[in-house]
Amino acid sequence: MPLVEGISFDLTIIWAFVIAFAVLVYVILDGFDLGLGMLFATERNRRDRDVMMNSVAPIWDGNETWLVLGGGGLLAAFPLAYALILPALYAPIIAMLLALVFRGVAFEFRWRSGRRRWLWDWAFILGSALAALAQGVTLGGLLQGINIDEAARQYAGGWWDWLTPFSLLVGVAVMVGYMLLGACWLVAKTTGDLQARMRRKALVLMVGTVIFIGIVSIWTPFLQEGYYLRWFGGWGTGLAVAVAVAVLALGAALGASLRGKGRDVIPFLLALGLFILGFGGLGVSMYPYIVPTEVTIWEAAAPRNSQVFMLIGASVLIPIILAYTAYAYWVFRGKVDPEAGYH
């Protein structure tokens, strides 16, 4: 690789960060629109539902593209991990894909279906809920470890291995967290009664999210010895305390912002903060493994020339993508105005 000779930083670590970044952006962005889909169930008024849908209609497709980047990027940068994780978590991943089919088409279909609109409203609600649950179960299933045959480079477990109390717990936790994001998004994008209801719901969901973060965080170190040592050995304990304090502080600030009169976008940003903290915690637990605790990022990494070739494109294109994604959000900024249609 004459192109990068002499450069000492580790491309595998860079790629691990790129994939983690794609997954984090996905979780944040599709998180709020999946959460909004679940909150659809609690809002029966048609106009409120239209406002909710319209607040994400121009951007949901871009949000979901980060999932494709997560999957495609994993195949490209860590092919072995892709080949081990997907068969191991077959059922939740297929369920997630099919759920995303339902809720994705609902954006278009509900405007075209006349009297059957309720059908696609429910496709939107249930699709969003199942996708969120399946994503959480997938995360839980990965965290608790996967049974692999190292020599054959293949998954060696059965097709129900993923199903444990822990993975289900993480599934529910992700559902609650996504609903929190969705409610905070709607606080930012709506006005009046709908916004007031979302403030109240977000408050409850914030408490739920913090509790679930607590339970998952306490449970995780006992899943694998590596996690335990990471969090309770050496500098880990200090970090654990710091993270716990940060989560509680963010939760308190979020609660205050939901009850206060500050700018309507603040709760959403604070909820993002909670997710970023949680995601960072996951990273601390898993590093340096990509399939805990069997395969490290280096063992799963694509060869160096693949990494280089992709990094050239990624380093140019990802900033451009972020720029025009930000532009699209900016174009559709501000409140969804339910009155504008009359004039």
Which residues between 105 and 134 bind other proteins (CB under 8 A)? 105, 107-114, 123
Q: Residue 54: in which H helix or E strand, if any?
A: helix 46-56
Nearest-CA neighbor of 122 among 49, 65, 41? 41
C-alpha span between 326 and 330 (Å, rounded): 6
For other proteins, the closer of residues 79 and 214 by Cβ is: 79
DSSP-assigned letter for residue 343: -
Burial environment of residue 317 by CB neighbours within 10 A (0 to 12, 13 to 18, 19 or more): exposed
Of 248 and 326, the one with the shorter C-beta distance to other proteins is 326
What DSSP string describes 174-236? HHHHHHHHHHHHHHHH--HHHHHHHHHHHHHHHHHHHHHHHHHHHHGGGT-HHHHHHHHSTTH
114 sits in the region (left: phi over 0; alpha: psi -120 to 50; else beta) called: left
In the list 67, 125, 175, 183, the residue contacting other proteins (rule: CB under 8 A) is 67
C-beta of 218: minimal distance to other proteins in Å?
A: 31
88: helix, strand or coil: helix
Residue closer to other proteins by CB (options 59, 215) is 59
Applying the rule CB under 8 A, the residues between 271 and 310 that interact with other proteins are 302-303, 305-306, 309-310
Q: How far apart are CA 154 and CA 291, in angstroms?
A: 12
| Whole-Å CA distances, 296 to 13, 112, 306, 314 | 11, 48, 18, 22
**How many Å apart are CA 111 and CA 125, to the nearest integer?**
16
Nearest CB to other proteins, comparing residues 41 and 86: 86
Q: Which is nearer to other proteins, 90 or 228 (CB)?
A: 90
Q: Tell which one of 4, 14, 41, 57 touches other proteins (CB under 8 A).
A: 57
The CB-of-63 to other proteins minimum distance in angstroms stands at: 8
Give whichever of 104 and 255 is closer to other proteins, judged by the CB atom. Answer: 104
CA distances 318 to 13, 276, 303, 312, Å, are: 17, 19, 21, 10
Instruction: Examine residue 221 and say whether the peptide bond preceding it is cis (omega within 30 degrees of 0).
Output: no
Q: Does residue 268 touch other proteins according to CB under 8 A?
A: no
Q: Which is nearer to other proteins, 235 or 342 (CB)?
A: 342
Binding-site residue total for other proteins (CB under 8 A)?
Answer: 83
DSSP label at 301?
P
Paired with 148 in beta bridges are 155
Q: Which residue lies nearer to other proteins by CB, 52 or 270? A: 52
User: How far apart, in whole angstroms, are the C-alpha atoms of residue 79 and residue 81?
Assistant: 5
Shortest Cβ 245–other proteins spacing (Å): 37
* Part of the chain binding other proteins (CB under 8 A), chosen from 217-225, 234-242, 289-297, 321-329: 321-329
Smallest distance, other proteins to C-beta of residue 152, A:
8
190-229 residues in contact with other proteins (CB under 8 A) are none
Chain residues 157-196 in contact with other proteins, contact rule CB under 8 A: 158-159
Considering only residues 20 through 49, tell me which ones interact with other proteins, judged by CB under 8 A: 46-47
What are the tokens at 186? 């709607």
Candidate list 55, 135, 257, 285; residue touching other proteins; CB under 8 A: 55
Choosing from 10, 61, 150, 193, the residue that interacts with other proteins (CB under 8 A) is 61
Return the number of the residue (232 or 324) whose C-beta is nearest other proteins: 324
Q: How far is the CB of 324 from other proteins (least distance, A)?
A: 5
Among 36, 85, 142, 247, binds other proteins (CB under 8 A): 85
Token pair in block for residue 100:
């995303």
